[in-house]
Amino acid sequence: MFPIKYLKRGYKDVLNILYPRLCLSCNNVLLEYEQDICHRCLSGLQLTGFDYRHNNPVYEKLAAIVNINRATALFLFDKSGVIQKLIHNLKYKNHPEIGAFFAKTTKNYLSDPGFFDDVDYIVPVPLHPKKQRKRGYNQMTEFGRNLENFFGVPYTEKILLRQIHTASQTKKNALQRRENVKNAFRIEQAAKYSGKHFVIIDDVITTGATIESCAESILNYIPDSKVSVMTLTMVL
């Protein structure tokens, strides 16, 4: 009789021809042993190891402008361009599943698993509902939900909300960015979260203005709260 494993194998091959699995970064067809991204892209993705050092470049940048507990960016923003491509596909090419890939990588490689110790909630930088409708998702949702699964810290989009639809930050200088996001956020039921520690997650830190505004909303409105920050990457 024809061994069942060959049938299974054949079925998998047919599926792969009909619906080839593509690299989430470069879109090339993945080989059977490759998961999510191809070997070549994976080798271009470099971890910062920042979470291992309290006084790392992200912490220093943010601590200069707002009172934060700890901060890290997971991947180096470098010339291989893999991290940029992944974030671009995550935000603009309808690939929310890239967030799950980032969470999986974080779980496997986080050099300091204590980063989430004593953290009560993971919250994303919120999008204005209008922008979220247009994109169809917040690019941090899958990342946050998977972090919740891996680290056991609840992820929620119901505490930190965006109240003002701000213009894009990309063409603005540091001062304009700060003005642009000042008072853009608000807290829902602040008193309920008194004394809690929040990790704000975001894709890229550039000047830190958006994170600063989010962190200030939390610290100003939630009594005795603490804020930490985790981003995918940072433009130095």
Q: Which is nearer to Zn ion, 38 or 125 (CB)?
A: 38
CA 25 to CA 36: how far, in whole Å?
9
CB of 221 to Zn ion, least distance (A): 43
> What is the dihedral angle through the alpha carbons of 131, 65, 182, 138, rounded to the nearest 10 degrees?
10
CB of 78 to Zn ion, least distance (A): 16
Q: Which is nearer to Zn ion, 88 or 135 (CB)?
A: 88
Find out whether 119 and 199 touch, Cβ atoms under 8 Å. Answer: yes
CB of 35 to Zn ion, least distance (A): 12
Give CA 186 to chain center in angstroms. Answer: 20
Q: Which is nearer to Zn ion, 43 or 189 (CB)?
A: 43
CB of 104 to Zn ion, least distance (A): 16
Find out whether 28 and 38 touch, Cβ atoms under 8 Å. Answer: yes
Give the other-Cβ count within 10 Å of 126's Cβ. Answer: 21
DSSP state of 51: G
Q: Which is nearer to Zn ion, 160 or 232 (CB)?
A: 232
Interacting residues toward Zn ion by CB under 5 A: 23, 25-26, 38, 41
CB of 42 to Zn ion, least distance (A): 8
Phi, psi of 155 (to 5 degrees): -105, 130
Q: What's the CA angle centered on 222, arms 219 and 228, to 5 degrees?
A: 45
Q: Which is nearer to Zn ion, 41 or 122 (CB)?
A: 41
